[in-house]
Structure formats: structure tokens, C-alpha cells
Structure 1
């Protein structure tokens, strides 16, 4: 049965608001919650970027039922993988086993800030592969010393390990990344409803660690719900026009100003063609259906606009979830 999630988007709300949104999302019936891990918003208009891991700790205590997940953390430049492993173990304890560590190769927007440069895509994927090996060893409770091509670890051990192991979900986008990272992952993360990707993932899933075959496939889709469609389109254009650039572009731009310049010619109608906008819940259900038809087990929704969340919860979330479960569950 498909599961439907809510995105705690750190780029469009402050830390206290995100915790409050997490509680509301659980109350209205979302199955899980994912959180972005950013140092900067994509666009200045979004206006926020609190530290995701502090917020996750608060969310873990403020909620009881929903699954929690980073979507996604880059464990290679801004964070050392040994520190990521410790953070993940701590959140898993606070969440009583509800946490999944989502990992990816990152974006310049968030990683360049520590002054270490931004590697090529091939190097980033090499770094991610090495980081995952370190994280898995530490989360297994090993005393780890590691001298690799990119990372050194000296006599590291996680002293507070959760009873429930932390699942690792890895972001993948094509044949090469699935072949490389599928064997290392418990779960698949992807942002396109690609059935071929899911099919390939199922054949290579978890081989490197002898993982069980029933891994989750987790997608995400932005929506701009509003009683007025024109308002919804205008808001999506203002805050989410960056989305259409594709990951090969989005991973390379370093600042919100760069994204603003790169998207200055994106029209409102362009955004409305790619993002469900307005009050029609059937349109949203149809967009989500593309993911479930492709074999995704979990789909997280991003409601665009930090100041729209309360009205979304009050007026749209419950009937939308009911429609999703009836049509796609």
C-alpha cells in the first residue's frame, strides 16, 4: 500500500514553524515526513534555511507516529561522514526507530559555503560511495579507523547506538548511479517517476550488505494548493521556478542569486505545466499517480509557500489524503 508524506521544507519556514507543521502533518494523517538539509534557500523569496538536524531533534520529540527522514543530506563536504553517522544514530534514538537517513551527492548551493570548492560529479559520487561505507561501519557499532582517498577516520565509535538500525536511503537518477549505489542502499530516493529506474533498483538493491529485498522507493512532488488557481500559480512561480532546471543544473549553481538569474525567463505558464496548482485535488492525485504507477512505494508532497501551510492543513490535507488513499493506496 502506498504511503504519502509531507515535506518539512527548511527553505520556506523557520525552525519553530517547521516543528509546528510537523505536528499538524501527523495530526491530519500523513504517513511520514521528510526534511531538506540546506544551508541556503534556492531563491531569496523563500527566505529560510535553519539547521535541519536541530529541527529534526525537536520534531522527533514533538511527534509520535510519522516516519522521519532527511531528503537529503550530503555527507561529503559540509559534513564529515563520521559526524553524519553520529547525528543519524542520535535522531534514531530520539525518534524511537522512525528515522531514515537520506543521502545524496549534494548541491553547490549548500556545500560550497565551507570553502572547500565544489568537486566534479564523478568526484562527488566517489566521495559519496566512500562516505556511505564509513557511515555503515559506524552505525554497525564498529570501532572505525579509515584512511581513504577522501576521508580519514581515527578510532571513531558511536557510543549511543539505537536499538533499531538506521536505514540508508540513497538518491539515484540514472542507470550508472543505480548500479553504483543501489547495492549500498536500503531504500531508493528519486525525484522523477521513472519506472525503469525502479525496476533496475529492485535487481541490485542492497547486494553489498545482504539487505532484505523489500526496500522503499521514495519520491517527492511539489504542489501549490490554493483556493484560487492564479494565486497558486503566482506563488509557485515566485518560489519554485528553480525546480525545472533539472539536477545537472541545480547541483552546480552556488547561490540564490545564481538561481534567480538562471530562472529569470521562466514564465508562470511554464511552472503551471510542471507543478499542480490550484484547488483541484484530482489534479494533484493524478500527478502523484505517475509515481505510484512507476512503482514508488512512498511519495512526499511539498506544499509551496511557508505561509500557506496552516490553510493547507485546515482545508485541503485531509480530503487530499483520503483521495490519494482511495485512488492510489
Structure 2
């Protein structure tokens, strides 16, 4: 059974807007929430980046939907011992309806303290040790940890949920999917890639949830939607590892000049016709995901939620159940 959730974009919206959108998403029939965890937006047009843990606290007071961070990097900018405490508190606030989604991160957010940006294999190594630290602290015991990348001394988390916080691991390629299968309680991704989900299942993730999210842009016309998507999210179509290695919104803006409106129109469901949205959900369902999250690009959130509830949800319900 596939569950449909809403993806809250911390890169586009202020804290109170995110809280209002969460209420609207629940009213529109969405069953769960993703929320991004960034220090910077991808570009200046997006223009926001509130501290996700403060926002989650507010969300816990206005919605009963499960919440997943998509995703938190617990390796460079923030020590995993701090993330462990933040996640435990979030789980208590959400009465157990919280999942810590983690990933190896991007230089965009993680380089800000002057730390060198590690290679991809080293980032995965750091992520594995970070998850180990977080799980140790979530036992509620006094912890000493002296590993290759992290040291924890005389640490204990006192505010804990009744059950350990589930940790889902982000993956976009086979190495990360293998790590997710081996150490994660679930998988996070944004790719409708059946081979990625299969690798996760085959390397220890059998029977564990797989989540994925994608962007859409509802507007009165397809042309308006393409213009908006191209202005706010051209970075979505940058190739290769650029998203992991570019260090600032300015660099993403420079690289995104290579992305055309035609590329966005091919990649993002847009406009007033519900069929592209339904087809996109179907693609993720066919890839094997258990939870699919949708993010509306731009300020017209209320109009999108009405459109989704009226025209898309009935059709998605038929293919996703």
C-alpha cells in the first residue's frame, strides 16, 4: 500500500508559511510530510532556509501527520551527537511520528564552518559512523565513542521517545543504496529508479520502507508553470555531482544558466491538467516506493491543494492502493 505525502520546501518558504502549508496538506488528504533541512537555499530566487528543528516543533502542534527530514546531514556542519538530541526531541514532540532521514550532504550547506568537503566515499564512511553514534545515544545510556571521525564523551540523552527514532538513509546511486540497506530503517530518494530500490532491498532493506519525492508546478497554464519552475528550481536539472560539490547559491545560479525551460517542461509535471501528476506518481509506484511525496513549486499553495484534492487525489488513490 503506497502512501502519498507532501514535501515542505524549507528553501522556498518562511517558517509560518511551512506550518500553514502542513495544515493545508493534511486537510487536502496528504498522509505524511517531508521537510528539507538546509543552511542555504539552492539559489537566491528560492530565498529562504529556516532552521528545520524549530519548524518541526511548530509542526508538531498543528498536524498529526508523520514527519521525515529529507534529509539531514549529520556529518560536517552538525555533529551527530547534536543531531541525536534534536531528533529525539522531535520524536517526542511528534508523539513518535518522526523519522530522521539522513544523507551524505552537499557542500552548499556543510562547508560553512571552513571544514574541507570530503570525497564521496569518505562522506559515506562518515555517515555510517554518524548513524552509529546517533543509535548509541538513542539508547539513553551514558555514551563514550572514539571513532575515526567522531568523539563523544560522557554523553547521555535524557529526553527520548518511547521507541528509538527510525533512521532512513538517502541514496541516489548503488553504493549509497547498499549502505541504506545495511544500516538504515528505510530508504529516501528522489529518483524513480527501480534498480535503486531493488539494490536497497537486496542488501538488507527487504521489508523496510522506501520513500521518494518529486516536484510539480500547478498553475492556470502550462506556460506559466514552466516559467515559475525554471525561475525557482533550475538546479533540479543540473547533471552529475554538481549538486554535491558546488559551494554557494551563487555557483548554482551560474551553473543553472545551462538549464533551459524545455528541460524543465520535460522533467516536471506542470499546468492545470491532472494527468501528468498522476503519471508521475505512477512512475514512483512502479519503481517500488512505499511512500511518495509531492512538492508544489511556488507561492500558489492553496490553489494547488484544492487542485490536488479535487482532481488528482481521486485518480492517484486508484493507482496507489
Q: TM-score range by the shorter chain?
A: over 0.9
Aligned to 1:31: 31
CA distances 1:213-260 after superposition (whole Å, capped 9, x unpaired):
521110111101112111100000001110011461101111111011
Aligned to 1:324: 316
Instruction: Find out whether 1:147 has 2:146 as its counterpart.
Output: yes
The within-5 A match list for 1:91-102 is 91-102=90-101
Local SS of the residue matching 1:205? helix
Cα separation, 1, equivalents of 2:265 and 2:56: 32
CA distances 1:82-140 after superposition (whole Å, capped 9, x unpaired):
01011111011110111000000000111111221211112211110110100111112
| Shift of residue 15, structure 1, vs aligned partner | 0.4
Aligned to 1:257: 250
Instruction: Find out whether 1:221 has 2:214 as its counterpart.
Output: yes
CA distances 1:22-81 after superposition (whole Å, capped 9, x unpaired):
1111111101100000111111111111111100110011112x1101000000111100
Structure 1 window deviating more from structure 2 (114-123 vs 249-258): it is 114-123
Cα separation, 1, equivalents of 2:240 and 2:62: 33
Local SS of the residue matching 1:230? helix
CA distances 1:255-305 after superposition (whole Å, capped 9, x unpaired):
111011001121111110111111111111101211100111111011001
The within-5 A match list for 1:250-289 is 250-289=243-282
8 Å CA contact retained: 2:169, 2:186: yes
Cα separation, 2, equivalents of 1:237 and 1:149: 42
Gaps of 5+ in 2: none
8 Å CA contact retained: 2:33, 2:66: yes
Aligned to 1:111: 110
Relative to structure 1, the CA distance from residue 33 to residue 319 in structure 2 (aligned partners, 3 Å threshold; closer, same or farther) is same
| Shift of residue 10, structure 1, vs aligned partner | 0.4
Cα separation, 1, equivalents of 2:150 and 2:173: 26
8 Å CA contact retained: 1:233, 1:272: yes
Aligned to 1:210: none
Cα separation, 2, equivalents of 1:322 and 1:205: 34
Gaps of 5+ in 1: 207-212
Instruction: Find out whether 1:59 has 2:59 as its counterpart.
Output: yes
TM-score by structure 2 length? 0.97
CA-based RMSD of the aligned residues comes to 1.3
Number of positions where the alignment pairs a residue of Structure 1 with one of Structure 2: 321
8 Å CA contact retained: 1:4, 1:321: no
Relative to structure 1, the CA distance from residue 166 to residue 274 in structure 2 (aligned partners, 3 Å threshold; closer, same or farther) is same
Relative to structure 1, the CA distance from residue 158 to residue 246 in structure 2 (aligned partners, 3 Å threshold; closer, same or farther) is farther
Q: 1:290 aligns with which of 280, 283, 300?
A: 283
Cα separation, 2, equivalents of 1:247 and 1:266: 14
Local SS of the residue matching 1:38? coil
Local SS of the residue matching 1:183? helix
Q: 2:300 aligns with which of 305, 308, 317?
A: 308
Cα separation, 1, equivalents of 2:110 and 2:239: 18
Cα separation, 1, equivalents of 2:310 and 2:209: 24
Cα separation, 2, equivalents of 1:315 and 1:279: 8
| Shift of residue 188, structure 1, vs aligned partner | 0.6
Local SS of the residue matching 2:219? coil
Cα separation, 2, equivalents of 1:290 and 1:322: 17
Cα separation, 1, equivalents of 2:290 and 2:180: 19
